[in-house]
Structure 1
Amino acid sequence: MIELRSQQGETVDLICRRAYGRETAENLAAVLDLNRGLAALGPVLPTGTLVRLPDPPADPPRVAVVRLWD
């Protein structure tokens, strides 16, 4: 489990992006499940709010790269 404190002006989405490098609906749902009452704080979290995040998946999904030009 990862524990982070929110920085000024951060949302749960930005915390997921900072911790995992991206945010997904699954990540957001897992974070909100672990932190009951977090959504009640509003979209922008108070600075210094402790947020617990689940460990990232062992194998992150692969993203296909499309090249338009060689």
Structure 2
Amino acid sequence: MELRSQQGDTLDLILFRHYGYTAGITEQVLALNPGLAALGPILPTGTLITMPAAPTQAEQPLIQLWN
């Protein structure tokens, strides 16, 4: 999937809007888009960004301290 940046967008903002989180996905997006980091913190309007498939987040088992 590809997205275009809007005026004033940062990569973190785009990722949060698309995935709902940024942890762990930022590195994947930068690897898929060589040169993206060189554009600076605020991306130029209309920058095309290739997005990886949303990773599935593993469910952690629920631990109860008291039964």
Tell me the TM-score range normalised by the shorter chain.
0.7 to 0.9
State the aligned residue count. Answer: 60
Shift of 1:62: 5.0
The residue that corresponds to 1:32 in the other structure is 30
Secondary structure, in 3 states, of the residue corresponding to 2:49? strand
The residue that corresponds to 1:48 in the other structure is 46
State which structure, 1 or 2, has the greater radius of gyration over its C-alpha atoms.
2
User: Given the two structures, how large is their TM-score scaled by the length of structure 1?
Assistant: 0.77
The residue that corresponds to 2:64 in the other structure is none
The residue that corresponds to 1:9 in the other structure is 8
The residue that corresponds to 1:68 in the other structure is none
User: Given the two structures, how large is their TM-score scaled by the length of structure 2?
Assistant: 0.80
Q: Distance in 2 between matches of 1:55 and 1:31?
A: 10
Moved more, 15-24 or 38-47: 15-24
The alignment's C-alpha RMSD in Å is: 1.5
- Structure 1 stretches of 4+ with a deviation exceeding 2 A read 60-63
Q: State the percentage of identical aligned residues.
A: 55
